[in-house]
Amino acid sequence: MAEYVVEFGKDGGRIEPDGRLDAAAFHRNHEPIWAVLQKHLAGKSGDVLEAGSGTGQHVVSFARLAPDIVWWPSDFNEQHLKSIAAWRAHAGLPNIRPPLRIDLSDPDWRPELQDGSGPQPLLALFCANVIHIAPWRVAEGLFAGAGRYLRSDGRLFLYGPFKRDGKHTAISNAVFDSSLREGNPEWGVRDIADLEKLASGVGLTLRETAEMPANNQILVFGRS
């Protein structure tokens, strides 16, 4: 279940003295995720925003692999923001910006630091394991922001478990979906068709669906 924790540090995982949290799933999924992202990002430069960064480990790993890209982590959970900042300091990479406080449930969220600075129109927006552990308005907010901030060749990468045509792609995802909904009726594994509707409302279309380990997928959206 580590893949699906909502609040790292309260799941019994390791917490370093500087606040760095560790997500067990990160160690399993960061390489397959990067294999998809790098196909779209290779040879490009610009700003990539991660929404719901959690521990901050993905941004550190990707920033190391793509030094020409500026990486902007974000979250809305205080402990996670602290962990992201600690991972950033620990990595000491010049291409990771301080974490932005972004609540995706605010349809008008803006990617800005307190001094008003922020990323340029985005080369990509990356979001892993967030929209099923959150109310539907978080998915709506994510797509609204993608519509506002992606540049013309920009991509929205969405990683997690998804339903296809109303059906789960694996029994384990169906079980997981039930447990999510039991814990919070507003949560649940989302259907790709519903996400495509959100996408079309903001001028995006689904460009690629990539199978990932553990019955997860990456959905890649771009401007229509």
Ligand X SMILES: C[S@@+](CC[C@H](N)C(=O)[O-])C[C@H]1O[C@@H](n2cnc3c(N)ncnc32)[C@H](O)[C@@H]1O
Residue 113 and residue 62: Cα distance in Å, rounded? 21
Residue 75 as a binder of ligand X (CB under 6 A): the answer is yes
Look at residues 193, 48, 210, 51 and name the one whose alpha carbon lies nearest to residue 129: 51
> Contact with ligand X (CB under 6 A): which of 60, 69, 85, 138?
138
> Contact with ligand X (CB under 6 A): which of 22, 26, 177, 220?
26
CA angle 92, 97, 102 (to 5 degrees): 135
Residue range at the interface with ligand X (CB under 6 A); choices 14-22, 113-121, 125-133, 189-197? 125-133
Start-to-end CA span in the chain (Å):
36
Residue 202 as a binder of ligand X (CB under 6 A): the answer is no
| CB-based contact 49:122 (threshold 8 Å) | yes
Residue 163 as a binder of ligand X (CB under 6 A): the answer is no
CB of 223 to ligand X, least distance (A): 23
| CB-based contact 165:193 (threshold 8 Å) | yes
Residue 76 as a binder of ligand X (CB under 6 A): the answer is yes
Query: What are the phi and psi torsion angles at 57 (to 5°)?
Result: -70, -35
Burial class (CB in 10 A: 0-12, 13-18, 19+), 55: buried
> Contact with ligand X (CB under 6 A): which of 37, 53, 97, 139?
53
Residue 5 as a binder of ligand X (CB under 6 A): the answer is yes
Residue 52 as a binder of ligand X (CB under 6 A): the answer is yes
User: Total binding residues for ligand X by CB under 6 A?
Assistant: 23
Residue 149 as a binder of ligand X (CB under 6 A): the answer is no
Residue 73 and residue 42: Cα distance in Å, rounded? 20
The owner of tokens 């370093």 is 16
Residue range at the interface with ligand X (CB under 6 A); choices 4-12, 65-73, 162-170, 208-216? 4-12
Residue 128 as a binder of ligand X (CB under 6 A): the answer is yes
Residue 200 and residue 204: Cα distance in Å, rounded? 5
> Contact with ligand X (CB under 6 A): which of 61, 69, 77, 163?
77
Residue 158 as a binder of ligand X (CB under 6 A): the answer is no
Residue 93 and residue 78: Cα distance in Å, rounded? 22
Residue 102 as a binder of ligand X (CB under 6 A): the answer is yes
> Contact with ligand X (CB under 6 A): which of 48, 70, 133, 192?
133
The residue ranges that bind ligand X (CB under 6 A) are 4-6, 23, 26, 52-55, 75-77, 80, 102-105, 128-130, 133-134, 138
